[in-house]
Structure 1
Amino acid sequence: METIKVKLKDNPYNIYLEYNLTKRVPFFIEKLNLGNYGIILASQKVYSLYKKLLRGVFKKNYYFLPVIDGERAKSKKWLFKVINEIIKIDKWYRKIFLVCVGGGSITDLGGFVASIYKRGIPYVHIPTTLLCQIDASIGGKTAINLKEAKNILGTFHQPKAVFIDPIFLKTIAKKEIREGITEAIKYGIIKDKSFFYFLKRYHREIISLETSYILKLIFTCAKIKTNIVEEDEKEKKGVRTLLNFGHTFAHALESTYRYRKVSHGEAVAIGMVFAAYLSYFMGKCSFNKVEEIKEIMHLFSLPIRFSFDYLTLYKSINYDKKFISGKIRMVLLKEIGKVEVAEDIPPMVLRECLKKFSRMRPKF
């Protein structure tokens, strides 16, 4: 079993990585002394596929609360639905904690619930999608969406542990695996050039979920994310902002189309191509770097463009939490493995770049 220590001053915890780890989670929870009654917040799809496993593992003093799949879970409706269920279950003699089992929507919602219920209760993650295992479950960011913008209501509330079991990936569709790989590509672009080329070289083995390759991918990504979170837990130093590469555009695209026409992974893939093109447009990198990013997206059958109205998308970007005090802040590419945070991007430049990008043909 691989263990990554998240060394935070006030909220340190461990990330555990191992096949079939789920069966041992109650043992770890008991050692962590989280409480005496656990609520299993599980996505409906995961619960239906792994009901026997989960109920066999989490027996006495656990309550199962299935939640709708996808971004719809990150809504006011489901936030209060979950909280109302917890209130019904909670008793004076129970010390409640949450176990979030699912993808990023479940970990975001569960973490947010844990952060506001009784001003904060403990929780752990069992991420079941690749995207969640390498990104969303690590770092303590929690959030729900409003129709105006993605992740607009949120908190920082660290989990007490993250348990990564790659066994769940066996029932994930290839499309979802590819979308998870978008975040792995992001880590290579922002921090690790050699990892970027590892992904490029072994793309077939990774898509096939060959054990050694997928374990290396998950561990490398989790370690990079951990290092960044340790340095800038609450995104006050600008270091953690690097993780937003491609996400400003992606979140705007998702919210514009109400989280229906494009998935998060697809939006991030397109968003990274746009961020690279904006970087080239502003003279930060060569066009060859844009081409390299396009090429790796092609290798993993990820999209590089999407038809959109550039003015609508520009308006949506203005709602993004990374749009600070009227200033546009985005992460731009310098070279593979190195990016920078650009403050105060001129609105006219962003609009013109969005306009050009929206009109480019698929060959771009």
Structure 2
Amino acid sequence: MKHAILCLQISLFLSSFSYSMQAQYSSIFSFGDSYTDTGNKVILFGPTTPGLLINKPPYGMTFFGHPTGRLSDGRLVIDFIAQALGLPLLPPSLSKNQSFKQGANFAVAGATALKTSTSPAAFYPQAAGGGAKPPPNNVSLSDELGWFDAMKPSLCGSPQACKEFFGKALFVVGELGWNDYGVMLVGGKSVAEAQAYVPRIVATIVAATEKLINDGATAIVVSGISPMGCAPGNLVMLASQNGADYEPDTGCLKGLNDLSKAHNAQLSQALTALGGRYPGTRITYADLYAPVIAFAAAPARFGFDGADGALRDCCGGGGGKYNFNLSAACGMPGVAACANPSVYVNWDGVHLTEAAYHLVADGWLRGPYARPPILGA
């Protein structure tokens, strides 16, 4: 009897703890690129724009049953975070006739940290030779922050009201930097030349984080970037003839992964310093590298196909080792997805499957892939 009472007390405690963490945030505001975009890219350029394949099947097939503007077969990390906090999935900030009182997603596929006017074909497979190319992206983090500023009057009526409103919100500065480095690498720059931009890109992300703190944010999650050398698209587009350029334990491109690690190390260090200047603010560094490199090193351990699931994309018509081909990209006529996306890490050559995003989200929410975890004490 005592054992049953103790179990009930523990259960009630855990339930109340879970509820208190969910009730801690009344809204979510998110920024980033295609790892976070829930529809802004499609709204920005129009759903029928030639070459914009992210609005065509089989995108969205797993959870939604149709394309939603997300570059995956289903939900993204930001979707799982919203669900864990008991909040609705974030609407794209460019949506019309939409309430944003419980949050908004300002992320746009192809967005960069720095200002740029190019969208690299390697990270938009639909920009294929011979095919209709999507419009160039010229959306940067500063543009997304501008949209946020423009939305403020509809959310709170005074600086003090905004401080109170945003003080109860969770802010997520999603993956940024991948497209900046991608523009350079596809443009012919070396990894070393791209790496020279890391301090500037990191400084831009940290400055945006500080701006949000000054706007009233007291809880911010900032994401690092994934191992660029493990993306099937990069393994095809930036392939090397030298076997020493590949990591023996993962098969990923070593130089590109070193670039990702340099970015993440500098970002994590800068966020720690920023947190020291704002002791009342909870700044979480969300690690996107560690989970994805772990998937590549031991896919079966995480439920992925040990033979194909790590570095071969699910949706593509390339065949071969990585199943990636710019002329047969996901969303193009006749290009099908694999039968079971849940056993694949990568969806379309760059972006992850819902299954992979779910594991990443769990690691951010409860650990070990976030410092401190979003649901941590």
Higher helix share goes to which structure? 1
TM-score (norm 2): 0.27
Q: Which has the higher strand share?
A: 1
- Which TM-score applies when normalising by structure 1? 0.28
Q: Which has the higher contact order (CA 8 A, sep 6+)?
A: 2
